[in-house]
Amino acid sequence: MTTVSNSGAGAPHAPTSVRQGGTSVRKVAIASGIGTTIEFYDFFIYGTAAALVFPTVFFPALGSTAGTVASFATFAVAFVARPVGAMLFGHYGDRIGRKKTLISTLILMGVSTFLIGLLPGAATIGVAAPILLVLLRFGQGFAVGGEWAGATLLTAEYAPPGKRGLYAMFPQLGPAVAFILSSATFLVTGTLLGDTNEVFLEYGWRIPFLFSAVLVGIGLYMRLAIEETPVFRAAQQADRADAAPRTLPLMDAWRYQTKEILLSAGALATLFAFFYMGTAFLTSYGTKTLGFSRPFVLTVGIASAVVFGFTIVVSALYSDRIGRRRVIMISCGLAVVWALALFPLLDTGSPVAFTIGVMVTLAIFGIAYGPCGALLPEMFQTRYRYTGAGLGYNLAGVLGGAVPPLIAAPLASAYGSVAIGVMLAVLGVFSLLCTKALVETKDDAL
C-alpha cells in the first residue's frame, strides 16, 4: 500500500486546502462546529438528566445514593461504547470518507436521543425502562465515538499551513456551546413549568431530548453542503494507483502507531475527567450534597461554559505559536494543583465558591481541549487518521470520563470529598507524564 505520510506527500498545495470546489475552509469550520455542538448537546443533556432526574425516574427502588450511582453507571456506558464507535466509524471514515461517516454519526445520535425522550419510566414499564435506557445510551456513545475524530479531521485537513490550531478550534467549541444549550434548555423548561419536581419528573425533562430532532435537522443540512477533504481524496487516488491489497485501518493504526494511540489517551485522560466532573458530577454534587437549587446550578453551568469556550479559543491559538504539547502540559500541571483545592473549596457551602469551582475546573479542561483538535489528526497518517485519532480520543474518554464520575460518589462516602481531589491529582500527574512523552506536531504537514 502507498503511504500518505505526515511528510505531506501527495497532499494538495495550500490554496487548494483553503478552497476545493465549492467548499471553503470557513464553511467546513462552521459545519464542523455546528455538528459537534449538536452531537454533544445530545450527549450532555443525558449527563444533566442523570444528575437531576434519572435516579428518581429510572431507579426509584434504589434510594438516593444507590440511585445516583446507578444513574452515573448508565452515563458511563457511553464511554465504553465510544472506542467501539471509534473503531467502526473510523474504519468507514478512512475507507469511504469523512463526510459520509459524519452524516451517519449525526443520525444515530439524533435517533438515540429522541427515543430517550420518549422512554417510559420504571413506574410504567418496570425493569425494562433502565435496560432500554442503557441501550439508547450505548447508541449515543457509539455515535460520539465516531463524531469527534471526523469533525476535527474535516477542519485539520482543510486548514492552511500554520493555522490548524485556529481552524480545528471550531469543532472543539462544540462541547462548550452544547453545554450552554443543554443547561439552558433544562433551565427554561423548569422555569416555564414552574420548576416543580412533579411536573419536571413527569415530562419536563423530556423536552430537551425531543428538541434535539430540530438541531439534528440543521446539522444534516450543513454537513450535506460540504465536500470531502482534499487530503482524503489524494489518499484515495494513491490507493487506487497501488495494486497491493488494502489492510484494515484499525490493524494499521495499532501496528504502526500503538505508542501514539496510548500516549494520546493518557495525555487527554485528565481533560475528560475535569470536564465530566465539572459538568455531570458537580451538577449532582451541587444539588444533592450542597443543597443548591436546580436553577442556580444550571445557571452556574451556563456561565462556566462561556469561560470554558474562551479558554478553548485562547489555547488553540497559542498552540499554533508555542506548540500543542506545551499548552496541554500547562493544563495538566494546573489540574494537579486545582484537584487538591477543589473539594475543600466546594465544601465551604458558599455559592461563590461553587461558581468558582465549576468555572476553574472547566477552564483548565478548555486549556487542554483547544489544542487537541489539531494535535490528534497531526499524529496519524492519512490512511488511518480517522481511526487512530478516534481511538486515542475515546480511550481517553474511558480513562477520564467514565471512571472518575462513577467512583467519585463512593469515594466521597467512604473517605470524604478530598479523596476525589486526590484521585484527580494522580490522574493529572499521569497525563502530564504522557504528554511529556509526546512529540510536537504543530509544524508537521498533513
Has residue 315 got a pLDDT over 80?
yes
What are the DSSP calls for 172-217, one per residue?
Answer: HTHHHHHHHHHHHHHHHHHHHTTT-HHHIIIIITHHHHHHHHHHHH
Q: How confident is the model at residue 38 (pLDDT cuts 50, 70, 90)?
A: confident
The answer, yes or no, to whether residue 95 has pLDDT greater than 70, is: yes
Sign of the alpha-carbon torsion through 270, 328, 374, 300: positive
Mean pLDDT, residues 395-409: 80
Query: What average pLDDT is seen over the chain?
Result: 83
Give SS3 for 24: strand
C-alpha cell recorded at residue 84 = 467501539
Q: Domain residues of the chain, as ranges?
A: 25-229+252-437
Dist CA 220 CA 204 (whole Å): 27
Q: How far is CA 361 from CA 142, 299, 344, in A?
A: 26, 16, 14
* 96-118 burial code (b ≥16 CB/10 A, e <16): ebbbebbbbbbebbbbbbbbbbe
The answer to which of 136-145, 245-254, 299-308 has the lowest mean pLDDT is 245-254
Nearest to 101 by CA among 86, 113, 112, 121: 86
3-state secondary structure of 227: coil
Give the right CATH number for 25-229+252-437 from 3.90.180.10, 1.10.10.60, 3.40.50.740, 1.20.1250.20. Answer: 1.20.1250.20
**What is the pTM for the complete model shown?**
0.80
Highest mean pLDDT, choosing among 76-80, 182-186, 243-247? 182-186
Residue-wise pLDDT for 168-188, tens only, equals 889 899 888 988 888 888 888
Neighbours of 440 (CB within 10 A): 14
Q: How far is CA 2 from the centre of its chain?
A: 32
Distance CA 92, CA 108 (A): 15
Question: Any long-range contacts for 303-306 (C-beta under 8 Å, 24+ apart)?
Answer: 303/355, 303/359, 304/278, 304/355, 304/358, 304/359, 304/361, 304/362, 304/363, 305/176, 305/177, 305/179, 305/180, 305/183, 305/362, 306/176, 306/180
